[in-house]
Amino acid sequence: MGMRKTGLLLALGLLSACSGPGATSLTVKLVDGLGEPLQPQAAAWRVGNGPWSPLPTGQSSWVLPLPAGSGTTFAVGFQCPSTGPLSYVSLEAKRNEVGNTLLLRCPLDWNSPTGAVSGSTNPAVNGAVFSARGQTALNGGAFSGLTAPVGAGREVAALGSLGGTTYFGRSGPVTLPSSPNLTLSPTLTLTAATPTGFLSRAKVYLDTGVRVDLAFWGGGSQTVPRPAPSALAASELLEIYAEDAPGLAILRLANPNPLAAPGSTVSLPVPPLSLSVGESHTPTALPTFTFFTGLGSVGFSAGLNPLGYALFLAEPGVRYWRHFVGAGAASSPYTFNLEQAPGFSGVVPIAGNSVQLCASAFASDQSLASFLASRPLPLESCTCYTLFLDRHHPGRLEVAKFGFPSTW
């Protein structure tokens, strides 16, 4: 009877993918770093510690029959469509930790091809020009060889200086590749304050996925060029970032937020964070992780909500596994047997090979559901640690880091 019930639930889930999501369903989407759809090579899901069930692979969206607000634990896993190294992403959480839509991002794959873009700016500044997939130098108002996704609705932005004045400009949505000419305007400024000695930076994220680097510094107080509020949409973000070895903090502010107003001082303190994680494994299974530091003991700032852990296992150049476990589903020790899902045996490294393991713990003033429903940012803020919650979503995020090499 139990097997028949599970099969019926899966059938209902697949039917609902045709009829549209309802109040008792969860829509899961597999996307690239721009939020564009991807079709996996393998896909599976499970409820609780039950058996894995395959999901169809000729699509990029699935509707799972999981009632909203329930405390049911569920998991999904995907083998990304990468033609290079094997790439896997997975997530386990309580149903009440996520909303009605969940986006999982493949880190190595992109839906759209890229092309090389050339163009110019007025005035003819020196600096850098940015797309959703790259950046290149801007010399005397000219640039060439900018890697950018091709097609309609793409964008190019520039930041540069001339005669002691810093300028910003953007093409607006255009069809690339083309040769855009960007009209630039002087920027305003704000002050960013981060802990002394921390790797610090400021960026702007445009709605088209373009990331514009504003400033880099070694901590302390820094004057940052800030595009005029009229040059950005209300949903576009200003980011302040500060990192040291144990952890990092990210503050993303929507353009209209008074904290991001020209002339303001944006402070980003980072508490002393600490994370310790152990692992054990057999040659044929993913690791068992021991979280020696619980989410409540990491040292996150008061008022932030612990969101969960991210795990990373890499056999460099061969295979990569990225996993997130929500706070409600995390345990210590923690085991996730994705290798037992149909089509996922390749997730386990080859015995005797060198591997890299990373773990990170997250807390935020925003909910896990709000992050996971938002489209990804194209570039991971801190490689191997922040992929899952690097989203186009305002809020404060703190991340404790722990990484170690090993031999499988």
* pLDDT per position as a tens digit, 92-133: 999 999 999 999 999 999 999 999 999 999 999 999 999 999
Q: How far is CA 344 from the centre of its chain?
A: 23
Q: CB-based burial of residue 113 (10 Å sphere; 0-12 exposed, 13-18 middle, 19+ buried)? A: exposed
The pLDDT mean for the chain works out to 94
Over range 152-175, report the average pLDDT: 97
What pLDDT is stored for residue 155 in this prediction? 98
What pLDDT is stored for residue 23 in this prediction? 52
Percent of the chain with pLDDT over 70: 94
φ and ψ at 231, to 5 degrees? -85, -5
pLDDT at 15 over 80: no
224 in Cβ contact with 146 (< 8 Å): no
What pLDDT is stored for residue 2 in this prediction? 35
Over range 220-247, report the average pLDDT: 98
What pLDDT is stored for residue 30 in this prediction? 98
d(CA 249, CA 264): 19
Q: What is the CA radius of gyration of the chain?
A: 22
What pLDDT is stored for residue 9 in this prediction? 36
Q: How sure is the predictor about 82, in pLDDT bands with cuts at 50, 70 and 90?
A: confident
pLDDT at 384 over 80: yes
Question: Which parts of 48-164 are beta strand (E)?
Answer: 53-54, 61-64, 73-79, 86-94, 101-105, 114-122, 126-130, 135-138, 142-149, 151-154, 157-162
Over range 374-391, report the average pLDDT: 97
What pLDDT is stored for residue 8 in this prediction? 31
pTM of the model: 0.93
What pLDDT is stored for residue 243 in this prediction? 98
What pLDDT is stored for residue 70 in this prediction? 86
